[in-house]
Amino acid sequence: MRTGTTGATKLFEDVGNTQLVFHGIQNENSHTRAHVCPVAQRVYVFKTAAALDLIEKGHYPKRNGYQKGVDVPTAIGYLVPPMDIPGCVALCLRLSVWQHLCFSEDDSLYEKGRKATKLVLQMVRQGLFPLPALGEEITDENLQIDGEDIIIKANAFRFDDLVIQVKCDYPGGERELGGTGNLYLQIAECNPFSIH
Helix (H) or strand (E) segment spanning residue 37: strand 32-37
Q: Cβ-count burial of 12 within 10 angstroms (0-12 exposed, 13-18 middle, 19+ buried)?
A: exposed
Q: What is the pLDDT of residue 149?
A: 76
The answer to whether position 155 is within a domain reads yes
Do the domain assignments include residue 58? yes
Residue 117 in this model has a pLDDT that exceeds 70:
yes
Q: Is residue 4 part of a domain?
A: no
Helical spans, DSSP H, in 42-156:
48-56, 95-101, 109-125, 141-145
Q: Which residues pair with 33 in a beta bridge?
A: 46, 165
Report if residue 7 sits inside a domain: no
Domain that holds residue 106: 14-189
- 117 domain-assigned: yes
3 occurs within a structural domain = no
Q: Is pLDDT at 158 greater than 60 in this prediction?
A: no
Q: Is pLDDT above 60 for 63?
A: yes
pTM of the prediction? 0.81
User: Is the pLDDT reported for residue 100 higher than 90?
Assistant: yes
Structural domains in the chain (count) = 1
In a domain, 72, yes or no: yes
Q: Has residue 5 been placed in a domain?
A: no
pLDDT-derived band at 87, boundaries 50, 70, 90: very high
Half-sphere exposure for 138 (CA within 13 Å, toward CB): 14
